[in-house]
A and B are shown apart, each in its own frame.
Chain A
Amino acid sequence: MIKAILIFNNHGKPRLSKFYEHYSEDTEQQIIRETFHLVSKRDENVCNFLEGGMLIGGSDNKLIYRHYATLYFVFCVDSSESELGILDLIQVFVETLDKCFENVCELDLIFHVDKVHHILSEMVMGGMVLETNMNEIITHVDAQNKMEKSEAGIAGAPARAVSAVKNMNLPEIPKNINIGDISIKVPNLPSFK
């Protein structure tokens, strides 16, 4: 079972957190901090597995993570999951994000957390892996996006327009972060096939 999925940036700011077991908000924040602490101090060229987060789970659990540009993708799993399988899953997740957002970068994750959640829910459900086939995931996500749009219909149009205008009027986005740097480059993993 997957116990939790966390995405945070190089400074430990959470970008997405999904817990499949119940923790209080405080504990969740503590777990994120602890995980960041553990993961961030590791070199780039060491293995992607890590044992012994104290808060989440204890000895049976492992942290499996990948570091893409400015973001860490961390899966906390128990012993029933295969390490390489999860590593592959992270790759699938990132590639899917890349497809859905077209050159995904950290900002996409910041402003479209709901979408990311949405994509994730097509891959992992209740801590169990639902789908590992990227095309399948994208098909379902697209279909649901379409549904949302058609539901909003005319009524949604003004709101969309306003939000588009708001986006245009906000020059601080590019100011704060240099988009060129943070675009997540999806390296090709040696294929599992």
Chain B
Amino acid sequence: MALKIVKGSIDRMFDKNLQDLVRGIRNHKEDEAKYISTCIDEIKQELKQDNIAVKANAVCKLTYLQMLGYDVSWAAFNIVEVMSSSKFTYKVSCSQLQLQSVDAVLITTIINSVSLPLVTQDLSSPNQYDTGVALTGLSCFVTPDLARDLASDIMTLMSHTKPYIRKKAVLIMYKVFLKYPESLRPAFPRLKEKLEDPDPGVQSAAVNVICELARRNPKNYLSLAPLFFKLMTSSTNNWVLIKIIKLFGALTPLEPRLGKKLIEPLTNLIHSTFCLVFAVLISLSSGMPNHSASIQVRDFPLKYLGLLAMSKILKTHPKSVQSHKDLILQCLDDKDESIRLRALDLLYGMVSKKNLMEIVKKLMLHVDKAEGTTYRDELLTKIIDICSQSNYQYITNFEWYISILVELTRLEGTRHGHLIASQMLDVAIRVKAIRVFAVAQMATLLDNGHLLTGNMQRNGICEVLYAAAWICGEFSEHLEDPMQTLEAMLRPKVATLPGHIQAVYVQNAAKLFATVLRKQEGTTDSLAAQETSQLLIDRLPLFVQSANLEVQERASCILQLVKYIQKLQQKEVEVAEEVTALFAGELNPVAPKAQKKVPVPDGLDLDAWINEPPSESESEDEKPKAIFTKEEPKHTRPRHTEVDEKELARRREARKQEQANNPFYIKTSPSSQKVYQDQPGVEHIPVVQIDLSVPLKVPGMPMSDQYLKLEEERRQKERSERKKKEKKKKREKHGRGRRADSGPESEEDITPAHHVDIVTEEMPENALPSDDDDKDPNDPHKALDIDLDKAQSKSVVMLSTDPAYSQLPSFLFQASDLDFWLSSAPVPPVMQVESGYFIPQVMSAQFLFQKSTKHKKKKQKKEKEEKEKKKKKKHHHHHHHHHHHLHSADESVQNGTVEEEEEPLPVRTWPMWWFCMPHVLGCENYVFVCVYDVQGNLQDGSQVVVSVIFENKTDHFLKSMEFNVLDSLNSKLQRPEGSSPHDGLAVPFQLPPGVSNEARFVFSVQSIVMPQKLKGTLTFIVKTEDASTHEKLDFKLHFTCTSYLITTPCYSDAYAKLLESGELKSSSLKLEGVIMPFHHLLARICFHHHFSVVERIDSCASMYSRSIQGHHVCLLVKTSNQTVSIDAKCDEPSLLGNVLDEIKHTFSQC
């Protein structure tokens, strides 16, 4: 045997290993590809051998080749095979390989068939590094199937004894959540627990995962804020701190009170760690009130981060950033592109009506200076973004803007020609006042078109000509010399432009032609008109031969038209009117989403068949017919309802108001045609008032700078005028008292150069308001948007022993402790850190306290009576008792026997599953709703921790709460030293109305083999406005045997040994009529009774759990035909008996 191994390894040592491969590649610099292909052949040979070591070596080499960009997916199967080897060394190499790159189909089939058992086997390996490697590997290739199958295993690993495994398991849960979102709910409580893990590494992993989850759906994690707050103030790990601060950055916008709470610890942090400052700035700018920013830009990375932070602050506090304008403009000169880009981003948010021109001027200077097309393109888009943001809000002078756009066309080699073009179109269409100017500019552009197209490399910019041609054509009535423009558009050079631009040229040449004709016919110079036609007939054939279909079609169509016109002209017929009618009507902008938002009209069923569906067989032929005839009236009626004239007129009027003149809107009323022709909406357009202080035409090619100057002059003039007026006023009002000075020029004072009607984009009538447009349906994080507050209550449902829990009121689990935490009251010790390590125990029962006092207010009584009526309808027999009690209380009030000292009412202590939640649903007369949760303490086998959540349901303040339990021989409440066994424990907080909080009590338990019930009392003071009363509640705590069990993973070999040892006593249980699937059944046992599955084979599974005192409990669960038999073994027979009873009870409930 040994000889064989040695022999194998001697063979092996002459194989190439990774180092040899690397060396070889380096030695074959010239023919690397060839060398590698021979290597791959060798690897293929190696993979075919039986020796697993050889295969592992091959896989190791593949990892390297993959990095160099060679496809290795063909080896997927072998990789999985090596992964399954028992030797650690080989596995490591595989986990490095990015198996994810393997074809998706292949991976699902392979992994599901082969690696699932392998991975599960690894996951339960006794060696922490084996498990670790399995987890690392898994992180690379989690698939939905794998995630679903392994979720529960990984969840068990999250409470592994080794922090190394816990850490990895926690991290990988995120990947599992992404692939299998359903697992988030059950796993979340445990994940939350890991935030308080004693190991900092695990803590940091949990913080990582929750931050990652919360980034997408922060609102679900708001309830964790107190926990994170505590971590933030206690943690020293910078990584964790940064993450938490980032998380708070996402949370503060949702909960403004959080911001206030955070100020103090954060300022502490800022003092202690300088580098964190910027992280802090970045995250908190979103939520801090009155946050004033001051950046010191010193270091390079910090400069960048400072700018980043400012952009965040800008969103909330624009004023504070605007004062740094000069600093930011300086950053534009920085040699670092990242910093420049950031500064650009900032500028976007900083512009106002006042400084827009100035900023854009600076940017234009940079455009000229900039080297490198990417940065220049970025500048260009930013200029356009800045100007066009929020519907051209900041532009006071559109002539200036058009000239900026024209200037931008002179940029060389930009990719954003289409952007400029669309801006030109947009402005020209929507700003009616600017059309005259725009058309003049565009005509010049067209004239100089050859400059733009001179170099075909720069074809990006020729897109502008598209816009220019369209604008000149569409608004040709504004052209000064349409003939010249027409000429320019029909130059032979145009044929070199891209097809879609040529098409626009041709079409708009026709429009121009119409205009020209009209003008020329007006002057009765018929010869000129004929010459124009001739020009078209001469030039158009060039386009008819175009390779582009669109151009060809349009050109030949128009050519024929012109020929026909020419014929008419020769007969001296006036044609201009008819030709113009070809292009009559106005084009209005339509919002991009308009089509999507057209509502489906009433009575139109899009799913209904228009024609009857083809029948499959003749026998069924009659049926669909019947359906069709039956349905027909239903569908047709609404369409045919005659709307009376009045209604029609009213509708028409409303529509007119709403969207003055839209020829493209599909109108249902017959009058739409008229609207088209009369264009009644024109009256609604305000007549442009031209401010004469600005000359409308700037001679020559306009320079935007001129506008800047003019604008400033104009403003100054206005200002001085205003001052004069004010002085006058002052003089008039002199003596009446001083008026406040007008102060610096404010935004509103700047009047636009001319009143501009910015036509808004049109939307269909009664468009459906929807916000979901931005959401990407493919976003994997969308699935993770799970309301975890709800989740908690649901997990309780899963974990509780009683189906009635499903009716749990959600208020039990809402973020009310958060409210309490955020309220100004001193921070209560929420979630005390336990030094020990707790294995989570599930909620085993709940109890509630009954208010034993009387109701003193008549108002309350009335409410109660109403509630009672409702209850009577709802509730079942065992509530009668309860009702009776209420009545007696009411009667006593009615009798007027209001006593100060309360009469001790019989307090009922119900068995656990009796007073489950139905009572809570309608419980005005309960002061408290308490939920408790029993946890075993792993460190100390004799301790049980009970967490109780108190919720105040009264309108009064509760204080001085004392919790006391009547100790039994077996179980004792742990009290501080020196107190007698009858003293109560003070609950360390007070409860304002409607608030809940959690307290933990430690019990020492001697024997855990029996379930126990402890009686206890809670005393407290109710503080009303005028008086405070002392009150007392009785309750019962129920410790089931299950609650002493702790989910402990067990490996099958250890399990087998345990069973063989023969120290265990056995017992069995049979459950009849269980209809749930086997894996549900197992999950139920795992959840409710803290077991873990050791092995599962078909319909048979072995399970294991351990008590806090180290008793082993083993189950063998089999199922056949609705009968489940459980054979159990345990070293403590009575414990086993009780656990089995509880299991039986669980299943009797479902």
Interface residues of A (CB under 8 A from B): 1, 14, 16-19, 22-26, 28-29, 42-43, 45-52, 79-80, 82-85, 87-89, 110-111, 113-114, 117-118, 121, 125-126, 128-133, 136, 140, 143-144, 147-148, 151-152, 154-156, 158-159, 161-163, 166-167, 170, 172-173, 176, 190, 192-193
Question: Among the listed A17, A42, A128, which residue makes an inter-chain contact with B212, where contact means beta carbons less than 8 Å apart?
Answer: A128
Chain B's closest residue to A89 (CB) is: B239
Q: Are B69 and A47 in contact (CB under 8 A)?
A: no
**Complex CA distance for A159 and B89, rounded to whole angstroms:** 14
Q: How far is the CB of B271 from the nearest CB of chain A, in Å?
A: 13
Q: Are A25 and B71 in contact (CB under 8 A)?
A: yes
Question: Among the listed A19, A126, A147, A152, which residue makes an inter-chain contact with B172, where contact means beta carbons less than 8 Å apart?
Answer: A126
A to B CB contacts below 8 Å, 16 in the list: A26-B69, A80-B212, A84-B242, A110-B22, A111-B18, A113-B64, A114-B60, A125-B135, A128-B208, A131-B167, A131-B201, A133-B201, A144-B92, A155-B6, A159-B9, A159-B13
**Complex CA distance for A85 and B301, rounded to whole angstroms:** 12
Question: Among the listed B18, B88, B89, B209, which residue makes an inter-chain contact with A128, where contact means beta carbons less than 8 Å apart?
Answer: B209
Q: Are A14 and B9 in contact (CB under 8 A)?
A: no
* Known contacts A126-B172, A148-B92, A151-B87; is-contact A158 B10 (Cβ 8 Å): yes
Q: Are A24 and B246 in contact (CB under 8 A)?
A: no
Q: Are A117 and B63 in contact (CB under 8 A)?
A: yes
Q: Are A144 and B88 in contact (CB under 8 A)?
A: yes
Q: Is the interface of B mostly helix, strand, loop or mixed?
A: helix
Interface string of B25-50 (1 = CB under 8 A from A): 01100000000000000000000000
Question: Among the listed A50, A133, A158, which residue makes an inter-chain contact with B338, where contact means beta carbons less than 8 Å apart?
Answer: A50
Q: Are A159 and B17 in contact (CB under 8 A)?
A: yes
Give the interface segment out of B96-104, B402-410, B455-463, B905-913.
B96-104
* Known contacts A125-B172, A151-B89, A192-B238; is-contact A46 B275 (Cβ 8 Å): no
* Known contacts A148-B89, A152-B89; is-contact A47 B300 (Cβ 8 Å): yes
* Known contacts A82-B279, A162-B13; is-contact A49 B304 (Cβ 8 Å): yes
Q: How large is the interface on B (under 10, 10 to 19, 20 to 34, 35 or more residues)?
A: 35 or more
Chain A neighbourhood of B242, CB < 8 A: 82, 84-85
Chain A neighbourhood of B14, CB < 8 A: 162
Chain A neighbourhood of B205, CB < 8 A: 128, 130
Q: How far is the CB of A67 from the nearest CB of chain B, in Å?
A: 13
Other 9 A-B pairs with CB < 8 A, given A89-B239, A129-B208, A131-B167: A19-B98, A47-B336, A87-B301, A128-B205, A128-B209, A151-B89, A161-B13, A172-B26, A193-B238
* Known contacts A84-B305, A85-B239; is-contact A140 B164 (Cβ 8 Å): yes
Chain A neighbourhood of B300, CB < 8 A: 45-48
Chain A's closest residue to B247 (CB) is: A80
Q: Are B100 and A22 in contact (CB under 8 A)?
A: yes
**Complex CA distance for A89 and B303, rounded to whole angstroms:** 20
Chain B neighbourhood of A89, CB < 8 A: 239
Chain B neighbourhood of A166, CB < 8 A: 19-20, 23
Q: Are A144 and B22 in contact (CB under 8 A)?
A: no
Chain A's closest residue to B87 (CB) is: A151
Q: Are A154 and B6 in contact (CB under 8 A)?
A: yes
Chain A neighbourhood of B339, CB < 8 A: 46-47
Q: Are B336 and A43 in contact (CB under 8 A)?
A: yes
Q: How far is the CB of B270 from the nearest CB of chain A, in Å?
A: 14
Q: Are B96 and A117 in contact (CB under 8 A)?
A: yes
Q: Are A176 and B26 in contact (CB under 8 A)?
A: yes
Q: How far is the CB of B69 from the nearest CB of chain A, in Å?
A: 4
Does B763 interact with chain A (Cβ within 8 Å)? no
**Complex CA distance for A85 and B273, rounded to whole angstroms:** 13
Interface string of B163-207 (1 = CB under 8 A from A): 010011001101100000000000000000000000011001100
Chain A neighbourhood of B53, CB < 8 A: 155
Q: How far is the CB of A2 from the nearest CB of chain B, in Å?
A: 11
Q: Are A136 and B338 in contact (CB under 8 A)?
A: no
Does B329 interact with chain A (Cβ within 8 Å)? no
Task: Find the residue from A19, A45, A126 having the highest chain B CB count within 10 A.
Answer: A126
Q: Are A17 and B67 in contact (CB under 8 A)?
A: yes
Does B920 interact with chain A (Cβ within 8 Å)? no
Does B316 interact with chain A (Cβ within 8 Å)? no
* Known contacts A114-B60, A114-B96; is-contact A47 B301 (Cβ 8 Å): yes
Does B215 interact with chain A (Cβ within 8 Å)? yes
**Complex CA distance for A176 and B27, rounded to whole angstroms:** 10
Q: Are A83 and B211 in contact (CB under 8 A)?
A: no
Chain B's closest residue to A26 (CB) is: B69
Top 8 A-B pairs, shortest CB-CB distance: A126-B139, A46-B336, A29-B69, A117-B96, A47-B300, A47-B304, A162-B13, A159-B13
Q: Are A193 and B273 in contact (CB under 8 A)?
A: yes
* Known contacts A114-B93, A144-B129, A148-B92; is-contact A126 B171 (Cβ 8 Å): yes
**Complex CA distance for A117 and B53, rounded to whole angstroms:** 20
Q: Are B336 and A155 in contact (CB under 8 A)?
A: no
Task: Find the residue from B69, B164, B171, B279 having the highest chain A CB count within 10 A.
Answer: B69
Chain B neighbourhood of A28, CB < 8 A: 69, 101
* Known contacts A88-B238, A111-B19, A128-B209; is-contact A46 B335 (Cβ 8 Å): yes
Interface string of B76-113 (1 = CB under 8 A from A): 00000000000111001101101011000000000000
Q: Are A23 and B167 in contact (CB under 8 A)?
A: no
Q: Are A126 and B19 in contact (CB under 8 A)?
A: no
**Complex CA distance for A128 and B136, rounded to whole angstroms:** 11
Q: Are B68 and A82 in contact (CB under 8 A)?
A: no
Does B237 interact with chain A (Cβ within 8 Å)? yes
Q: How far is the CB of A5 from the nearest CB of chain B, in Å?
A: 12
Q: How far is the CB of B180 from the nearest CB of chain A, in Å?
A: 15
**Complex CA distance for A82 and B334, rounded to whole angstroms:** 23
Task: Find the residue from A19, A25, A154, A176 having the highest chain B CB count within 10 A.
Answer: A25
Chain A's closest residue to B240 (CB) is: A132
**Complex CA distance for A88 and B241, rounded to whole angstroms:** 13
Chain B neighbourhood of A193, CB < 8 A: 238, 273
**Complex CA distance for A16 and B132, rounded to whole angstroms:** 22
* Known contacts A1-B212, A47-B338, A51-B338; is-contact A130 B171 (Cβ 8 Å): yes
Q: Are B139 and A85 in contact (CB under 8 A)?
A: no
Does B1024 interact with chain A (Cβ within 8 Å)? no
Chain B's closest residue to A173 (CB) is: B23
**Complex CA distance for A129 and B174, rounded to whole angstroms:** 12
**Complex CA distance for A172 and B25, rounded to whole angstroms:** 13
Q: How far is the CB of B97 from the nearest CB of chain A, in Å?
A: 9
* Known contacts A25-B70, A47-B339; is-contact A83 B95 (Cβ 8 Å): no
Does B341 interact with chain A (Cβ within 8 Å)? yes
Chain A's closest residue to B301 (CB) is: A47
**Complex CA distance for A144 and B339, rounded to whole angstroms:** 43
Chain B neighbourhood of A22, CB < 8 A: 100-101
Does B66 interact with chain A (Cβ within 8 Å)? yes
Q: Are A118 and B92 in contact (CB under 8 A)?
A: yes
Q: How far is the CB of A189 from the nearest CB of chain B, in Å?
A: 10
**Complex CA distance for A193 and B172, rounded to whole angstroms:** 29
**Complex CA distance for A192 and B335, rounded to whole angstroms:** 27
Does B759 interact with chain A (Cβ within 8 Å)? no
Chain A neighbourhood of B100, CB < 8 A: 19, 22
Chain A neighbourhood of B581, CB < 8 A: none
**Complex CA distance for A151 and B9, rounded to whole angstroms:** 13
Q: CB within 8 Å of A: which of B923-975?
A: none
Does B643 interact with chain A (Cβ within 8 Å)? no
Q: Are A113 and B335 in contact (CB under 8 A)?
A: no
Q: Are A18 and B98 in contact (CB under 8 A)?
A: yes
Q: Are B69 and A25 in contact (CB under 8 A)?
A: yes
Q: Are A25 and B136 in contact (CB under 8 A)?
A: no
Q: CB within 8 Å of A: which of B269-300?
A: 273, 275-276, 278-279, 300
**Complex CA distance for A147 and B90, rounded to whole angstroms:** 12
Does B1083 interact with chain A (Cβ within 8 Å)? no
Does B727 interact with chain A (Cβ within 8 Å)? no
Q: Are A126 and B140 in contact (CB under 8 A)?
A: yes
Does B1097 interact with chain A (Cβ within 8 Å)? no
